[in-house]
Structure 1
């Protein structure tokens, strides 16, 4: 922005945009016209060697960590859309419950959603990068103490959506409703309080989940779900075990 002061009684300033009459001691402001240029960002742009040298060490370290093998799966971890129970969902819920119990031993069951699991895993090595792709969000583990009535509402949500990942819980789906609900090996008692492992996104109402909005108590465990998955797979590998979930009937669709 440029400023010009004219001390003449009258001045006639001719600009590209027209004629401006200026009085004594007036200040005229000239505004620069800015021209924008669209630049296409694609593979035709040559790398800048200076920037490449700057980020290359960090890129190499990141790739090395993402390619680090933490375990192995014997089976394809898939999540067919129309299946009430899936191998990927069972693996995920089992990991949530196992890692949640390390921080809160009284946890009874776990719950997640199929929509939050972003990729399927093929048989073979599992890398850190695979688990980042599976759970790319910054979600953290949460403990919810829930009344039996709330768990019944959660079970109805699971049934109405055709089944979701759970561990420590069993149920049947009949006419889009939940029946024969077990926590552990015991029928659900609506007068009792149970402890659930899930993550903050769902606890805050994400994925339109129901039954989690009125807990007796909530404890944020301060651990990323992704880190819990990495720890779970790594621990099994250290014990000489591979990921090998089964379809065990924890959610059954009545015919």
Structure 2
């Protein structure tokens, strides 16, 4: 009996002695290490990265097309040469895909002025140029909406006072920024008709306050990135040729 009690007592002492102490975090310290030329590169890492770096640079510098002039999104009041080019490219590249899947044509394209992130300088257009223009992963989508929504889109464009890129549209506004003429592919807008508008996923979801896509009857996701459309277009043409035109103008 005494032996049994000794065993129990010993076991309790052993368990208490093996108890893990709780460690609580009391303080975190850190310091800023500025990245500058004073930091000596690790040659082991530099040598390891170099083949990948050289391959990426070579790929990005590959020439796709030629620009006879510089294209800047600030050059134009209600439509710009680069904006017209971007919207026309989306229509040209996306419409065959959309039609093959739905047997419908895209009626028009609307993008946003802020989505163009760089200019196209005069000279060679490279793969890097496409990535600089569109660094985001935005994809082209097509929304089917009623003519009422299309009229709301025209009102949005007239009041935005910015050269948002459009294609297959003709919009004229007066000095008070009221719509005086709005046509889709040369025809007046029919509020009872369903229109197929190509845009990108960011704008479809209300980006840049473009709420006129909702509600939509259907949404068609083409699985085609805006940047890839640019690359495909630049690859198939020799020289780009886009100008400021009368697709969106103001009569004063």
TM-score range, shorter chain: 0.7 to 0.9
Specify which structure has the higher proportion of strand. 1
Aligned match of 1:8 = none
User: Aligned partners of 2:132, 2:241: CA distance in 1, in Å?
Assistant: 20
Aligned match of 2:93 = 99
Figure out how many residues of one structure are paired with residues of the other and give that number: 229
Q: CA 1:228 to 1:30, structure 2 compared with 1: closer, same or farther past 3 Å?
A: closer
User: Aligned partners of 2:186, 2:130: CA distance in 1, in Å?
Assistant: 31
Alpha-carbon contact 2:204-2:211 (below 8 Å) kept: no
SS of alignment partner, residue 47 of structure 2: helix
Provide TM-score, normalisation by structure 2: 0.84
| Correspondence list, 1:24-173, <5 A | 35-80=29-74, 83-105=77-99, 106-162=105-161, 163-173=163-173
Aligned pair 1:247/2:244, yes or no? yes
State the structure with bigger RCO (CA 8 A, min sep 6), 1 or 2: 2
Q: CA 1:89 to 1:30, structure 2 compared with 1: closer, same or farther past 3 Å?
A: closer
Structure 1: 4+ residue segments shifted above 4 A: 24-35
Question: What 5-or-longer segments of structure 1 have no aligned partner?
Answer: 1-23
| Correspondence list, 1:1-12, <5 A | none
User: Aligned partners of 1:192, 1:204: CA distance in 2, in Å?
Assistant: 22
1:210 offset after TM fit, Å? 3.0
Higher mean Cα deviation, 183-192 or 27-36? Answer: 27-36
Provide TM-score, normalisation by structure 1: 0.83
Q: CA 1:113 to 1:78, structure 2 compared with 1: closer, same or farther past 3 Å?
A: same
Aligned match of 2:3 = none
Question: What 5-or-longer segments of structure 2 have no aligned partner?
Answer: 1-15, 100-104
Q: CA RMSD in A?
A: 2.1
